[in-house]
Amino acid sequence: MNRTQRIILYILILIAAAAWLALSAETDETIVVAGPAPQAGFVAPDFTLNTAAGETYTLSELKGQAVLVNMWATWCPPCRAEMPAIENIYQEYKDQGFVALAVNNTFQDNPFDIAPFTEEYGLTFPILLDETGDTIRAYQVRSLPSSYFINRQGVITEVVIGGPMSEALLRTRIEEALK
């Protein structure tokens, strides 16, 4: 292959690559660029989710209470490890205006595993089902578990990514949110 043929071949490859990029480019004008991930000092993104029993919880309706929003899944080992601590702290602080909301990543979990999981750990706080992933996306969750401590005004006071969280960590964060 002589030099002219190689140049023509390279030009054809470049034209084909440019055509592929142009044809495969996203043309949907409804793309929404997410803002910054929820963080301390900002109002917690609102959501409305149901339990398996059909009870509905809306985060904004819990203003006046301190809330822990814990994003989890049954297949997540750190999630499993921290659930007993969350239950213990929930029992200790629920009469002081503390609510724990466990938001199950249902769209990536087996819904049939949730009830046995809840029974195994004796969980009494609400287990909410994020069946569409909208809440997980609103909180820009990249790792499970992810926990958001929210004060009585609906403002995030602390974000904890990963786990398991100890009872001592939970206690200090909840006492701060209860102030």
Q: In terms of pLDDT, which residue wins out, 89 or 8?
A: 89
Any domain includes 41: no
With contact defined as beta carbons under 8 Å apart, do 177 and 149 qualify? Answer: yes
pLDDT digits (tens, 9 = 90+) for 76-122: 999 999 999 999 999 999 999 999 999 999 989 999 999 999 999 99
The region that residue 143 occupies, defined by phi over 0 for left and psi between -120 and 50 for alpha, beta otherwise, is beta
CATH number, residue 88: 3.40.30.10
Query: Given a cut of 90, is residue 4 above it in pLDDT?
Result: no
Is residue 119 a part of any domain in this protein? yes
Q: Sheet holding 56-58: strands in order across?
A: 56-58, 48-50, 127-129, 98-104, 66-72, 146-150, 156-161
Does residue 127 lie in a domain region? yes
pLDDT confidence of residue 12:
84
Instruction: Identify the pLDDT of residue 29.
Output: 45
Q: Mean per-residue pLDDT for 137-143? A: 92
Q: Cis bond leading into 145, ω under 30°? A: yes
Q: Tell me, yes or no, whether 125 lies in a domain.
A: yes
**Total number of domains constituting the chain:** 1
Q: How confident is the model at residue 32 (pLDDT cuts 50, 70, 90)?
A: very low
Q: Tell me if 12 is assigned to some domain.
A: no
Residue 149 CA, chain-centre distance (Å), reads 13
Residue 38 maps to a domain? no
Given the DSSP bridges, would you call strands 98-104 and 66-72 parallel, antiparallel or unpaired?
parallel
Mean pLDDT of the residues in the chain: 89
pLDDT at position 119, please? 95
Q: Is 86 exposed, middle or buried (0-12, 13-18, 19+ CB in 10 A)?
A: buried
The answer as to whether 147 is a domain residue is yes
- The domain containing residue 75 runs over which residues? 48-178
- What SS3 state is found at 122? coil
Q: Is residue 126 part of a domain?
A: yes
Model pLDDT, residue 125: 96
pLDDT of res. 1: 75
